[in-house]
Amino acid sequence: MDDHTGQKPQRGERSGWYSAGVGGVGAASFFSDSGHEIATAVLPGFLTSTLHASPGALGVVEGVSDALTGIAKLAGGPLANSPARRARIATGGYLGTALATGALGLATSVWQVGVARATAWASRGIRSPARDALLASLAPRHAYGRAFGLERAGDNLGAVVGPLLAALLVSLVGIRTTLYCAALPGLLAAVAITFAGREARRTLAEPFARRRIRLRLGALRRAGMARALLPVAMFEVGNIAVTLLILRATQLLHHGARDLAAATSLAVLIYAAHNALAAAVAYLGGHWIDRAGPRAAFATGGVLYLAAYGMFAVPWHGWPPLLAAFVLAGSGIGLVETAESTLVAGMLPDALRGSGFGLLGLVQSLGDFASSAAVGLLWTAFGPAVGFGYAAAWTGASALAVWATGRGRR
């Protein structure tokens, strides 16, 4: 595939892949995820204890916010096709996420929480294609795996640091002040992505040119996006929300002499290990992707998820098997997310990358919603083994589909 990035020749094979701009994108993901994970950790308690809302209200708030994320990613894709807009969209998105997350602390009613959370998640969605397209313009083509692996590692490390900071802050300053503090890492993320945008301006061979705002579905189809997104969609239909994994672990650990509080704390600690491993595998997996290609890493991730969901289907009551299941899932997501981004970056010219990443984000969001809803219903009606078996079947099938759809393609 020809190089459509427009980068200067000196950023080629002979140079290193890491730059200040690539590091800025990774730092932005780390800081932003740390901030909104602080809010995510305390939001259930804030809604139910401080505002006296029901668990159902929390479900509605989170469901609407997640849906808006997917729509915003699709809308942000065409905007990010233009290099002239990417840095501003990314900076605005990170800034909007930070301010709306901090505004949760001002809420005195459920609807105010819903508006702030939806604004934060919509900002998060619209910035994602711009951030990914910006990263693809900063990294050399031969190192897309490493660059996107670093970005995913930063995101997953934020998911480790955020809940730990939330636990510390709540004990020191209370829930509302903790929500105010959640805006601070997001502001640092906006600074980091602004720096990366300035680096992108210096590394491109020609000045930024504005492009028309179009999704360009026909051009994406001709570039092979439909074929590439088929296994992605299959995987995402089986990629359930981690809250369901935590719930399963909590229920299984709440056994014998272990009370519910101890079971919950242990499940959250195991989940933190999941995120830490996902960060490590994303970074190391990026190096593998640059050597072997994204399809091999994606297929491996699908198989790891098949094994993880198979373990979650078994009623273990000890923590070691559950830790092993979370380790498999963390390894799987570290590989799959990095492979998905690398695949889109490598197969599309720069003028289509924003639309490609936006379409990828929509598929991910819709698939995640469908998978969590389906597994939740199957769990309720037939038991957890059926629900996790359903998810395992889809993720395992995606590993086969990526080889089938990639046959005949480099």
- Domains in the chain: ranges and CATH: 19-206 (1.20.1250.20), 214-410 (1.20.1250.20)
Residue 121's pLDDT band (boundaries 50, 70, 90)? Answer: very high
Provide the pLDDT confidence category of residue 213 given band limits of 50, 70 and 90.
low
Higher local confidence (pLDDT), 296 or 351: 296
pLDDT band at 215 (very low <50, low <70, confident <90, very high): low
Percent of the chain surpassing pLDDT 90: 50
- Average pLDDT of the chain to the nearest whole number: 86
The residue among 273, 263, 397, 253 whose CA lies nearest residue 323 is: 273
Structure pTM?
0.84
> Which is more confident, 33 or 13?
33
Q: How confident is the model at residue 130 (pLDDT cuts 50, 70, 90)?
A: very high
340 vs 396: CA distance, rounded Å: 16
Query: Residue 171 has which token pair?
Result: 């004990």
pLDDT at residue 2 tops 80? no
pLDDT of residue 10: 39
Contact predicate 47/58, CB 8 Å = yes
C-alpha 104/C-alpha 176 separation (Å) is 8
Is 90 exceeded by the pLDDT of residue 15? no
